[in-house]
Amino acid sequence: MFLANAKVDSVTQIGTNVFLLKLQSDKIAANAKPGQFVNIKVSNSNFPLLRRPFSICNVEGDYFTIMFTSVGEGTLVLQKKQKGEFVDVMGSAGNGFSLDGNYEKAIIVAGGIGAAPFPFLIKELEKIGKEIICFSGGRTKNDCITYEMKNVSTATDDGSFGFKGTVVELLSSEIARYKNERIKIFGCGPNAMLKSLQQFCFTRNIEAEISTESSMACGFGICQGCPVQSATDKNKFLLVCKDGPVFNVKDIELP
């Protein structure tokens, strides 16, 4: 884990409220793994006070990218970053996705901005010869992100883009196709979606890893602010920032 003074290369708007921030930091780029996140001090002032966590969306050479939606003060500041500015980044944090497992097809399931970690993951999965199938969902077309996804099917609550319904409903309706194949699911999105994805995987006994969210204060294990219930030990919380953000679906009980 490092503290890096990363240089802003560009801020690009790729959707109604979806932005890519490309940053330069050789140290972070060299050490990043898909599913890990960076924790960004978006301003030099006390406003906002705490760092903001973002999945590493992609890595290229000395550069890495985050993908974000503007939801509050911190993301608003990020959205206004200018090329050449420096940003204080801590990373790469958390454990990331494990590419291991007995599968040939990787099924990516994204809900809204949960699409963020997948460009990087897809790249790494392709490197080791996995086949990629993507499902991306959102409330409306504007919330459904397919950036750098492969073989992607979409679902929207209002039917404005692809399947009408949730992304997990879409997945359910499609899963029969992969009945005789060795698959592994990689999911990321809001907790409600991850919960239904978890249920889906349990019912069908499919191997899956999910990237979770939690409010955080530190992002590296010292504040105990980001617990998630361990599924195996009732007396134990796991930390999203340190033990996660990626967990095997079997390991946690989502709130």
Ligand X SMILES: Cc1cc2nc3c(=O)[nH]c(=O)nc-3n(C[C@H](O)[C@H](O)[C@H](O)COP(=O)(O)OP(=O)(O)OC[C@H]3O[C@@H](n4cnc5c(N)ncnc54)[C@H](O)[C@@H]3O)c2cc1C
Among 5, 13, 71, 73, indicate the residue that binds its own copies (CB under 8 A): 73
Among 71, 192, 222, 223, indicate the residue that binds ligand X (CB under 6 A): 71
The piece of 69-77, 141-149, 157-165, 167-175 that touches ligand X (CB under 6 A) is 69-77
- CB nearer to ligand X: pick between 69 and 142: 69
Between residue 118 and residue 177, which ones bind ligand X under the rule CB under 6 A?
none
Residue 223 contacts ligand FMN per CB under 6 A: yes
Residue 193, token pair as written in the block = 């979606």
Q: Find the residue with minimal CB distance to ligand X.
A: 72
CA distance 61 to 167: 33
Here's the x/- map for ligand X, 46-65, by CB under 6 A: it reads as --x---xxxx----------
Between residue 192 and residue 231, which ones bind ligand X under the rule CB under 6 A?
213-216
Cβ contacts of residue 53 below 8 Å, gap of 6+? 37, 38, 39, 40, 93, 216, 219, 241, 245
- CB nearer to ligand FMN: pick between 14 and 49: 49
- CB nearer to ligand X: pick between 205 and 215: 215
- CB nearer to its own copies: pick between 60 and 73: 73
The entry of ligand X, ligand FMN, its own copies, none that residue 46 binds, CB within 5 to 8 Å by partner kind: its own copies
Between residue 20 and residue 49, which ones bind its own copies under the rule CB under 8 A?
45-47
What string of DSSP letters covers the chain? -EEEEEEEEEEEEEETTEEEEEEE-HHHHHH--TT-EEEEE--SSSSS-S-EEEE--EEETTEEEEEEE--SHHHHHHHT--TT-EEEEEEEES------SS-SEEEEEEEGGGGTTHHHHHHHHHHTT-EEEEEEEESSGGG---TT-SSEEEEETTSSSSEES-HHHHHHHHGGGGTTS-EEEEEES-HHHHHHHHHHHHHHT--EEEE-----SSSSSSS---EEEESS-TT-EEETTTT-SEEETTTEE--
Q: Which amino acid is at 227?
A: P
Shortest distance in whole angstroms from residue 83 CB to its own copies: 14
The entry of another protein, ligand X, ligand FES, none that residue 66 binds, CB within 5 to 8 Å by partner kind: ligand X
Q: Contact 208/171 with Cβ under 8 angstroms?
A: no
Among 224, 250, 253, 255, indicate the residue that binds ligand FES (CB under 6 A): 224
Residue 84 contacts its own copies per CB under 8 A: no
Q: List residues near its own copies by CB under 8 A.
A: 45-47, 73
Query: Contact positions toward ligand FMN, by CB under 6 A?
Result: 217, 223, 225
| Residues making contact with ligand FES (CB under 6 A) | 216-219, 221-226, 239, 241-242
